[in-house]
Amino acid sequence: MATHSISYKKTGYFSKLICDYLDENPSLSSFYNRFPKLENFRAQFEEKRSQLSLAQRRKLAKRIMFQYGDNNLSQSTLSNIDLLYEPDTFTVTTGHQLNLFTGPLYFLYKIFSTINLTEALNKEYPKHYFVPIYWMATEDHDFEEINYFNLFGSKIQWNRDAAGAVGELSTEGLNTVKEILKKKLGPGKNADKLVSYFAQAYQENTNLADATRHLANLMFWEYGLVIVDGNDAELKKEFIPYAEKELTENLGFKMVSETTEKLTALGYPEQVHPREINLFYLTENLRERIIEKEGRFYVNETDIFFSKEEILKELHEKPERFSPNALLRPLYQEVILPNLCYIGGGGELAYWFQLKDYFKKVEVPFPVLLLRNSALLVTKTLSEKLKKLNTGIEELFLPQHELITRHTYNISKIDIDFSKQKEFLKEQFKDLYTLAEKTDASFLGAVGAQEKKQLNGLDNLEKRLLKAQKRKFSEELDRLKNIQNQLFPKQSLQERQLNFSEFYLEHEEELLELLKENLDPLDFNFMVLEL
């Protein structure tokens, strides 16, 4: 199986912030703790070791087991949960929304990046233990972001009314989605297995959190993945002191705003805007922002409000009703987990960079930040077609109009590039400029205008010739466009559009084995994997 890599910068799909981070640009050093290199993790776990007490570790392990409920667990997952009791056990964490049937491909890349990093750490530091964690974003409330997945160019969507935390949504109605999936996949052993995965997850569990846990547990059974739901009253008790500071001091807003100003001053955009209070109020079918006005705390879009004393009493008695937003959730995660590293996409890491000073202020160790693996899966059929077109995979990362223009220049037997003619013309005009300087300014202007006219004429001729050559080679160019459209659907990264089932249908478990074997989280390059 052929594999090769491309630098993230060369793909054109990753922000300057992320590319600068991967290049260890010194201007960013104050926005993170330690760069993700194996040798840097020793200092990280030495810093983290004393944060969690044995009682907190016991609570964490017990709550995770409770959350699994009646799910069968592999021996490796059970062992990893037991290891959480040990003071020399640490975690590596990734988070993801509860996308229907895993959503886009990069869900798998996140999980395998996390699993593979823990394995590398276990090998490097054999006297310690490292556990892969998938943190389910059960408290998110944007149903429209997670209620579908794409299959064979069509959107398979779960249509229903939804409000509140998505993890608590009933799975009622997903049988209809299963039937659509079954029809789309067609007959076959692998198709039946995919439908079985869907049915087990979404028809044997009553809410979306349990369904997602079931599916992830099934898919990553042998790898020891531990799944955590932060929407847990007992775990949120650990977060009460931090939530109290958020309500009474607006500490998150102050610290994150200061850090964000430093980032934007360097030319990087603000990823997430901090609120005065970065907490939601969470009850059944409700997750709305908490807003403070003149000493009262209002729940946005409702009639619910509290005095300062009342909301603090509510926090201490019912901590499960206080849900951190995107900026506060990282702190909650790091408070309850013995975590060393967070693995996320470019957008996620961008808002983590806004948090470093906040973590320092509340005296919680800031984790190592690692960009998840990204990959392009190329079938052998498409790879052979590209070879016949004498086109490298790197070229397909270009915008389509640039790709087509470049390919036309490459295959044309006529020299479309008029650069030589333009340089020759400029040389001819140098003599005219010399002559013009001996006359008057008006003649000098006339020479300049004539030169511009002649150069524009050559530009137009070049464009017309290019257009003519594109028409001549339209059949080959259409084949190239078709290949790019398959590998970069909607002119975006494949991993953000396609669902794993398209590849699982043909390759079954080999797909997961391929990703496990080839995604190296410490290789900071975009991977191309030929199936």
526 and 470 housed in the same domain: no
Residue 466 has pLDDT above 60, yes or no: yes
Q: What is the pLDDT of residue 526?
A: 98
Backbone angles phi, psi at 366, to 5 degrees: -85, 130
Asked if residue 347 is part of any domain, the answer here is yes
Asked if residue 168 is part of any domain, the answer here is yes
- For residues 317-346, one letter each, b for 16 or more C-beta atoms within 10 angstroms of the residue's C-beta and e for the rest, the string is eebebbbbbbbbbbbbbbbbbbbbbbbbbb
98 and 182 housed in the same domain: yes
Tokens of 258: 């200061």
Band of residue 447 on the pLDDT scale cut at 50, 70, 90: low
Asked if residue 243 is part of any domain, the answer here is no
Bridge partners of 152, per DSSP, are none
Asked if residue 163 is part of any domain, the answer here is yes
416 and 347 housed in the same domain: no
Domain of 411 in residue numbering reads as 380-494
Band of residue 425 on the pLDDT scale cut at 50, 70, 90: low
Residue type at position 371: L
Backbone angles phi, psi at 451, to 5 degrees: -60, -45
Residue in 525, 517, 378, 405 with CA at minimum distance from that of residue 469: 405
Asked if residue 309 is part of any domain, the answer here is no
- CB of 370 closer than 8 Å to CB of 94: no
Asked if residue 80 is part of any domain, the answer here is yes
Asked if residue 230 is part of any domain, the answer here is yes
Q: What mean pLDDT, rounded, does the chain reach?
A: 94
69 and 155 housed in the same domain: yes
Tokens of 156: 């398979």
Residue in 271, 314, 299, 397 with CA at minimum distance from that of residue 17: 271
477 and 519 housed in the same domain: no
- The 10s digit of each residue's pLDDT in 426-438 is 777 776 677 777 7
Three-point CA angle 75, 77, 78, nearest 5°: 65
Q: What is the pLDDT of residue 418?
A: 67
Q: What is the pLDDT of residue 227?
A: 98
How many domains is the chain partitioned into structurally? 2
- CB of 92 closer than 8 Å to CB of 130: yes
Q: What is the pLDDT of residue 464?
A: 82
466 and 522 housed in the same domain: no
131 and 182 housed in the same domain: yes
Band of residue 422 on the pLDDT scale cut at 50, 70, 90: low
Band of residue 75 on the pLDDT scale cut at 50, 70, 90: very high
Band of residue 208 on the pLDDT scale cut at 50, 70, 90: very high
480 and 331 housed in the same domain: no
44 and 172 housed in the same domain: yes
All residues at 6 or more sequence positions from 179 whose CB lies less than 8 Å from its CB, including other chains: none
Residue 414 has pLDDT above 90, yes or no: no
To the nearest whole percent, how much of the chain has pLDDT over 70? 97
Q: What is the pLDDT of residue 111?
A: 98
Residue 458 has pLDDT above 90, yes or no: no
**Long-range Cβ contact pairs of 416-425 (< 8 A, separation 24 or more):** 416/462, 416/465, 416/466, 416/469, 417/462, 418/458, 418/459, 418/461, 418/462, 421/458, 422/455, 422/458, 425/451, 425/454, 425/455, 425/458
465 and 366 housed in the same domain: no
Q: What is the CA radius of gyration of the chain?
A: 28
314 CB burial (10 A radius; 0-12, 13-18, 19+):
middle
Q: What is the mean pLDDT of residues 159-170?
A: 96
Q: What is the pLDDT of residue 437?
A: 73
- What's the pTM? 0.93
Q: What is the mean pLDDT of residues 505-531?
A: 95
Q: What is the pLDDT of residue 205?
A: 97
Residue type at position 502: E
Asked if residue 248 is part of any domain, the answer here is no
Residue 1 has pLDDT above 60, yes or no: no
176 and 132 housed in the same domain: yes
228 and 345 housed in the same domain: yes
Q: Strands (DSSP E) along 413-453, which ranges?
A: none
Better pLDDT: 470 or 489: 489
Q: What is the mean pLDDT of residues 316-325?
A: 98
Band of residue 469 on the pLDDT scale cut at 50, 70, 90: confident
